[in-house]
Structure 1
Amino acid sequence: MTVSDSHVERAVSAPARPSAPRRRGAHFDDGLMGVALLAGPANVIMQLARPGVGYGVYESRVESGRVDLHPIKRARTTFTYLAVATKGSDAQRKAFRRAVNTAHAQVYSTDESPVKYHAFDKDLQLWVAACLYKGGVDVYRLFVGELDDETADQHYADGARLGTTLQVPPEMWPADRAAFDDYWQRSLDQVHIDDTLRDYLYPIAANRIRGVRLPGFVQRRAEAFALLITTGFLPQRFRDEMRLPWDDGRQRAFDRVMSVLRMANHALPSVVRQFPFNVLLKDVDRRIRTGRPLI
């Protein structure tokens, strides 16, 4: 993974592709774009690369929230959380926090667990929030353009809500972007994906959906494309942990796909670019109003 400045690390490794030019009038509200879903599997891998998070999800007794069993529902929950934490109202954040806390109360290690964990561990929650923040910056830079200092500082301050919407106290969020860089580099020392978690995460990287099987050739091509996108969004450290190969040819293929998607994304009106996040926020209000579960 290539570091382009002292604050933000690129999503792809050298050779670095040219960053997207910044659109006139672009705002970080564009960071919640539908194209961000492409980076979702890579961000899940980053989060679960901390063993406490990885085994917390792998051994979770909350069956309905398991990404391997219910990938669509899990994706809805994750993207709704992103929308609520970054753009939701105080009422929406409080309601979502209560719902997540109810589920997290059931996520804790047992005597048989190889790693001790609890979903209310503030350090692990901070790590998850940090991964989400970095993923948002990477998507913005790739599809919108470089952030000026004022926009980057504002987004970083807003990023604290990714943790404080759960249990992370505001003072735990690194004070500024430089402090975040220090935190991130130190946290990489705690990243490790063992064989058990690697086997669990590989189908996520390849976008395999349980119970869905395409004809052989189509399945292989679909998985190869998914692996290209997922690996392209992963920092090299995480590629190595997952044992996912990367080279100049794959980098060029990833760049070509992103270039086409970037042009298509720029041509869309804002309301379409921000789908499904704008719809998910409305769905939260509907669920609160009708008493339906939020997650």
Structure 2
Amino acid sequence: MTISEPIPLVERSVSDSPSALAPRRRSWLPQVSCTDNMMMGVALLAGPANVIMQLARPEVGYGVLESRVESGRVDLHPIKRARTTFTYLVVATQGTDEQQAAFREAVNSAHRQVRSTNDSPVKYNAFDRDLQLWVGACLYKGNVDIHRIFLGEMDDEHADRHYHNEGKAMATMLQVPEDMWPPDRAAFDRYWQEQLDKVHIDDAVRAYLEPIAASRLRGLTLPGPLQRANERLALLITTGFLPQRFRDEMRLPWDAQRQRRFDRLMRLLRGVNNLLPPFLRAFPFNVILWDLDRRIRTGRPLV
């Protein structure tokens, strides 16, 4: 990458100010107001990349890889696992106290079974606050990237409000106390850089993540050429949403040509997203709390 090329959005720190951007990069990044909906269906495109980021901490990776909670495994039940993650995001940031309490207990019940054994390569426990903080940080970082790509730059006031409200909520929904969340966006950037030193994806976790990166679903295979085309597109999107540190760990190739293809695709999708009526733009996040209440009323599992 030459010095004249813009820094990909996913590589930027969350404390970057819009005023620091060169005009060429600002031209397609409109300013937005604080009323913009942070939860959009298009954000699902970044889901596989965010899973990879979370599992890049070995303790999280092996906690998922060795999980005895069969019903929550993304490799076995990808749609159910996705619903749980989406519900977590919406409940943490928009749910009532009652909804949060019910969902927290359901997650805690599953997490009680997630702990390392004597045979595990690394020690882990799903109640580890440090690991929960890392997962919350990945969710927040991904949320910022989605906003920058599909809605544009937040001004500093909006970015600070989002950080202290939605960002903190994503990390502190379970056992992480609020004072563990970095006090501001600059502190978050320092935390993020420090945590990158702890990132490592070994062969076992990489093999687990590769089908997720390519959106390869168990039991669902398209005819040969369509399947290959779908996986190529999915890999482009997943890799494009990953900072280079994680691409390297996954051994996913990337270059300037792929970056341009990714940028063109995101511009196209942003245009389509902007044309959608608000209800469709927010789907499925806008029906998740309704579904959660229905599950609570009928006694169905929440996770």
**Interval containing the TM-score (normalised by the shorter chain):** over 0.9
2: CA distance between counterparts of 1:5 and 1:38?
A: 21
Residue identity opposite 2:196 in structure 1: L
2: CA distance between counterparts of 1:45 and 1:127?
A: 12
Report whether the alignment pairs 1:89 with 2:96: yes
- Aligned counterpart for 1:186 among listed residues 178, 185, 194: 194
Report whether the alignment pairs 1:36 with 2:69: no
* Contact residue 111 and residue 126 of structure 2 kept, 8 A: yes
Alpha-carbon distance, 1:27 to partner: 2.7
Alpha-carbon distance, 1:88 to partner: 1.1
Report whether the alignment pairs 1:291 with 2:299: yes
Report whether the alignment pairs 1:269 with 2:277: yes
Alpha-carbon distance, 1:21 to partner: 2.9
Residue identity opposite 2:266 in structure 1: M
Alpha-carbon distance, 1:17 to partner: 6.2
- Aligned counterpart for 1:56 among listed residues 48, 63, 79: 63
* Contact residue 53 and residue 124 of structure 1 kept, 8 A: yes
Alignment of 1:100-111 (within 5 A): 100-111=107-118
Q: CA RMSD in A?
A: 1.7
- Aligned counterpart for 2:87 among listed residues 80, 89, 110: 80
- Aligned counterpart for 1:133 among listed residues 129, 137, 140: 140
- Aligned counterpart for 1:260 among listed residues 268, 271, 283: 268
Q: Which consecutive segments of 4 or more residues in structure 1 shift more than 2 A?
A: 1-6, 16-28
2: CA distance between counterparts of 1:206 and 1:19?
A: 31
* Contact residue 27 and residue 151 of structure 1 kept, 8 A: no
- Aligned counterpart for 2:176 among listed residues 165, 168, 173: 168
Report whether the alignment pairs 1:47 with 2:38: no
* Contact residue 60 and residue 66 of structure 1 kept, 8 A: yes
Report whether the alignment pairs 1:239 with 2:244: no
- Aligned counterpart for 1:278 among listed residues 275, 281, 286: 286
Post-superposition Cα deviations, 1:57-100, rounded to whole Å, max 9, x if no partner, equal 00000000000000000000001111111111111111110000
Report whether the alignment pairs 1:223 with 2:267: no
Give the number of equivalent residue pairs: 288
2: CA distance between counterparts of 1:55 and 1:241?
A: 15
Residue identity opposite 1:269 in structure 2: P
Give the match for residue 35 of structure 2.
27
Quick one: structure 1 residues 193 and 273, their matched pair in 2 at CA, closer, same or farther if it must change by over 3 Å?
A: same
* Contact residue 20 and residue 143 of structure 1 kept, 8 A: no
Alpha-carbon distance, 1:8 to partner: 4.9
- TM-score of the two chains, using structure 2 as the length reference: 0.91
2: CA distance between counterparts of 1:257 and 1:185?
A: 29
Question: What SS class does the counterpart of residue 190 from structure 1 fall into?
Answer: coil
Residue identity opposite 1:127 in structure 2: W
* Contact residue 33 and residue 154 of structure 2 kept, 8 A: no
2: CA distance between counterparts of 1:109 and 1:19?
A: 49
Alpha-carbon distance, 1:269 to partner: 2.1
1: CA distance between counterparts of 2:13 and 2:221?
A: 43
Gaps (5+ residues) in structure 2? 1-6, 18-23
Alpha-carbon distance, 1:6 to partner: 6.5
* Contact residue 239 and residue 245 of structure 1 kept, 8 A: yes
Give the match for residue 206 of structure 2.
198
* Contact residue 231 and residue 239 of structure 1 kept, 8 A: yes
Identical columns (%): 67
Give the match for residue 149 of structure 2.
142
Residue identity opposite 1:278 in structure 2: N
Choose 207-216 or 190-199, whichever is displaced more. Answer: 207-216
Quick one: structure 1 residues 200 and 8, their matched pair in 2 at CA, closer, same or farther if it must change by over 3 Å?
A: farther
Alpha-carbon distance, 1:105 to partner: 0.1
2: CA distance between counterparts of 1:163 and 1:5?
A: 18
Quick one: structure 1 residues 19 and 284, their matched pair in 2 at CA, closer, same or farther if it must change by over 3 Å?
A: farther
2: CA distance between counterparts of 1:25 and 1:269?
A: 18
Residue identity opposite 2:274 in structure 1: H
Question: What SS class does the counterpart of residue 207 from structure 1 fall into?
Answer: coil
Quick one: structure 1 residues 18 and 149, their matched pair in 2 at CA, closer, same or farther if it must change by over 3 Å?
A: closer
- TM-score of the two chains, using structure 1 as the length reference: 0.94
* Contact residue 79 and residue 277 of structure 1 kept, 8 A: yes
